Structure 1
Amino acid sequence: MLKFSYLLSAAALALSASPALAETVFISADRMLDVETGEYVDGPLITVVDGKVTEVATNRAPPAGAQVIDLSGHTLLPGLIDMHVHLDGRPEYGGYSGLQFSDRFWTAVAVGNAKKMLDGGFTTIRNLGASDYNVVGIDQAIEEGWVEGPRIVGAAHALGATGGHCDETFLPPSFEAKSPAVGDGPEELRKRVREQRKYGAEVIKACATGGVFSRNTAPGIQQLSLEELTAIADEAHFWGLKAAAHAHGAKGIKAAIRAGFDTIEHASYIDDEGIKLAKERGTFLSMDIFNTEYTLSQGAANGVLEENLNKERALSQAQRDNFRKAHEAGVKMVFASDAAVMPHELVGGQFRVMVEYGMSPLQAIRAATVNAADALGQTGQVGVIKPGAWADIIAVDGDPLTDVGELADVDAVIKGGKLVD
């Protein structure tokens, strides 16, 4: 019996030591958009080995007996990238209404939202702020195969000043509610960067100005000094992480750009000097110009306070006008929805608004593919369909260069060479 057990164990060990066979899949369709050139490739046959593209051929049949994802009648594009998402939130729970739920309710919400984003064609997202490290856990669960969702570059908790937009601002002093990532002074904020990285952050977010959906903060007012912002950006870069600054007001935007932040979120009141600075320094603008209609039409019913609705009314058109100005000036732009402020399943509708405010359909698509990949520091890994990239691909029925609204209702999603159900 002992000898048999030994032989069985030895056989199992030998089997486990054998190299696993590479999984090869072929993807075919009528055509594919090369987002780098802006040209269509007819009759593509994409070879995928272990989740990554190894070849893009044209007008070639797959080998006999091969595993094929046949998307005849469709146009292929790279999987989309949303650069500003909050998975553990929903707009239906505005104001104080979210306090009726357990803390772990929001982890479950994040699971549902991750699937909604993936189904919408967003195969990569940047999650810019979450409570209780919820999204760090969801990211790990996706990687381990327990839940379905996009690739996540997450910020964990957002850094900010005491009493600022990224602090807890809705509760009275008796609750002693405080965000674990607030800090005052450069050295304290450097420590907050290290703590967030320690517990799973892959990008660092800081709130340079006030915001719309907090209490007792004005979006246009700067809340972190240049010295504090510089310490945050320097520390993030020291650890090899990108830094994103929430900034609505012109002064805070310019301070964040000068401090070295890689992306500016919202950028609602950016002025001519800020636009010039962003262009000179190669800073990306990440402007959520679609969620206004939802907030103003549904916010009150969802419990959003009038104070917050008034702030949205005040800045929304300025943000859209400045989106057009920055784009016309040649500033680098990425797709950003601020999902959670609006439903995650609707964010694809932003492509139409980006075109309405000055972009061509191809420019809007690039904002959610190659531009976003560059801003993430993942050039050539996501946002393209070419050898070496993850086989993250979407299929649409029509011509997205004629009607970018096709991206609001994708027909098929492939992540890592696997068709998403």
Structure 2
Amino acid sequence: MWLVNANVVDVLTGEKLRDRAVQIGPDGRIVEVASAPPVGAADAQVVDVAGRWLLPGLISCHTHLSVVFPFSDTDEREDPAVTAYRSATRAHQALQAGITTIRCVHEQNRADLSLRRAAARGWISAPRIRGAGRAISTVGGHGEGAATAYATGEEEFYRAAAAEIAAGADHVKIFINGGLAKAGEHYDSQEMADEEIRGVVRAARDSDKYVVAHSGESIAIRQALAQGVTSFEHAYRLDEETARRMVGPDIFLTPTLCVTRSESWMRANHFEEHSIQQALAAADDHLLSIQRAIRAGVTLVNGTDYPPGDLVDGVPAAVHEMLLMAEAGLTPLQALQSVSTQAARLLRIDDHVGQVRPGYVGDLIAVDGDPLDDLDALRHISLVVQAGSIIRGAA
């Protein structure tokens, strides 16, 4: 297949490649980015992009496909088939929205791992999935009531993490702080001891995996950094010293600004009032924290906490998050990298996903305008291609 009359954004360098043709081979990988199809390519499928801008498919790094709203409606004994149906619907919506890869960071009944197997067999239409299975929570902690795994002490946490990895998890999710969802809960409460975090990190490293930490504030983030955690979520209150400690090639922060800046979406999805008010009350600190992270040079990746294909203020949540990150101080190129090259590095797939270049998987989206000039171009994604197959739209 050839995509012709395209302007291509090199998200690694920011270079604009105008009037190009992109060839995707039968294996779904990009073969060539050329000035035009060669003579003799007339028999190939040709899609005229008509001057639109081609980008890599979006990568969302903090996803819950199985989540129930309001959170209090979660049934920890839910039939796994029901969980799978709900999750598959949201996965399909995400792919239609241009999100071609997702990282799940806790799914009830390990729905992410089931969907990944189903997608590999062609039974469902879904993004590429990197899954955690179930997150691991302390008893009475942030994850209680959300169908997580529970543990106490270093060895229990080690065994719980090893169980998720044995089930097929690509990474392990823990909660080192409280959150914003439950009445009376607060994100500055520390929930894991050093040795418990150490047990999870040890299990992850034994299988060449990494640990993802729900993290609300600086003390717990420094604690987790010292134990070897490399992927942090939220950072509602982050001080400058902790931000400086987070700077490094293998440490990532997923801001999830959506969580504290999407009141209309929360109300439309029947969030309980205490959850809404706690989220809104954290919004100013959250924004200032992410601005500190940007100034320090922390590597940021895109993640929504919400299903990434859900519409928030009229755009997919993953795009909404990108726009919020730009408002916080990312340049358009950095915002695009947060959902492509940097996200792919975090997921350890950057050798074949996250760029429009030969050898990479043909996951592509097309937008009308130049996103390096105006990120609002991402509000209208007109074409979605996954591994060389057109998912939605045509020029």
Indicate whether the TM-score tops 0.5.
yes
Instruction: Say which SS state the counterpart of residue 137 (structure 2) adopts.
Output: coil
- Superposed CA deviations along residues 346-385 of structure 1, whole A, max 9, x for unmatched, are 3312222111111111110011100111111112211111
Instruction: Say which SS state the counterpart of residue 333 (structure 2) adopts.
Output: helix
| Structure 2 equivalent of residue 57 of structure 1 | 34
- 2-structure distance, mates of 1:151, 1:287: 22
| Structure 2 equivalent of residue 36 of structure 1 | 12
Q: CA deviation at 1:101?
A: 10
| Structure 2 equivalent of residue 22 of structure 1 | none
| Structure 2 equivalent of residue 358 of structure 1 | 329
The counterpart of 2:51, out of the listed 68, 73, 84, is: 73
| Structure 2 equivalent of residue 183 of structure 1 | 151
Unaligned runs of 5+ in 1: 1-24, 170-178
Are 1:336 and 2:303 an aligned pair? yes
Instruction: Say which SS state the counterpart of residue 274 (structure 2) adopts.
Output: helix
| Structure 2 equivalent of residue 3 of structure 1 | none
Amino acid at match of 1:376: L
Amino acid at match of 1:402: D
Name the larger-Rg structure.
1
- 1-structure distance, mates of 2:327, 2:307: 23
Q: Is the 8 A contact 2:94 2:309 kept in 1?
A: no
| Structure 1 equivalent of residue 271 of structure 2 | 304
- 1-structure distance, mates of 2:7, 2:249: 37
The counterpart of 1:369, out of the listed 317, 337, 340, is: 340
Are 1:259 and 2:230 an aligned pair? no
CA pair 372-180 structure 1, distance change in 2 beyond 3 A: closer
Are 1:131 and 2:108 an aligned pair? yes
- 1-structure distance, mates of 2:138, 2:337: 34
- 2-structure distance, mates of 1:83, 1:301: 24
Unaligned runs of 5+ in 2: none
- Percent identity at matched positions? 28
- 2-structure distance, mates of 1:250, 1:46: 45
Q: Is the 8 A contact 1:75 1:399 kept in 2?
A: yes
Are 1:27 and 2:8 an aligned pair? no
- 2-structure distance, mates of 1:42, 1:200: 42
Are 1:46 and 2:41 an aligned pair? no
Are 1:140 and 2:129 an aligned pair? no
CA pair 281-78 structure 1, distance change in 2 beyond 3 A: closer
- 2-structure distance, mates of 1:300, 1:248: 23
The counterpart of 2:286, out of the listed 319, 324, 337, is: 319
- Count of residues paired in the alignment: 385
CA pair 227-390 structure 1, distance change in 2 beyond 3 A: same
- Superposed CA deviations along residues 149-190 of structure 1, whole A, max 9, x for unmatched, are 100001110012111112227xxxxxxxxx452111111111
Amino acid at match of 1:40: K
- 2-structure distance, mates of 1:137, 1:215: 32
Instruction: Say which SS state the counterpart of residue 246 (structure 2) adopts.
Output: helix
CA pair 187-47 structure 1, distance change in 2 beyond 3 A: same
| Structure 1 equivalent of residue 72 of structure 2 | 96
- 2-structure distance, mates of 1:281, 1:254: 17
TM-score, with length taken from structure 2: 0.91
The counterpart of 2:65, out of the listed 68, 87, 91, is: 87
Q: CA deviation at 1:72?
A: 2.0
CA pair 129-77 structure 1, distance change in 2 beyond 3 A: same
Q: Is the 8 A contact 1:27 1:71 kept in 2?
A: yes
Amino acid at match of 1:319: H
Deviates more, 1:387-396 or 1:43-52: 43-52
CA pair 318-341 structure 1, distance change in 2 beyond 3 A: farther
Over 6 Å off, 4+ runs: none
Q: CA deviation at 1:314?
A: 2.5
Name the Cα RMSD after superposition.
2.2
Q: Is the 8 A contact 1:397 1:411 kept in 2?
A: yes
The counterpart of 1:232, out of the listed 180, 194, 200, is: 200
Are 1:163 and 2:140 an aligned pair? yes
Instruction: Say which SS state the counterpart of residue 43 (structure 1) adopts.
Output: strand
Instruction: Say which SS state the counterpart of residue 55 (structure 1) adopts.
Output: strand
- 2-structure distance, mates of 1:166, 1:250: 20
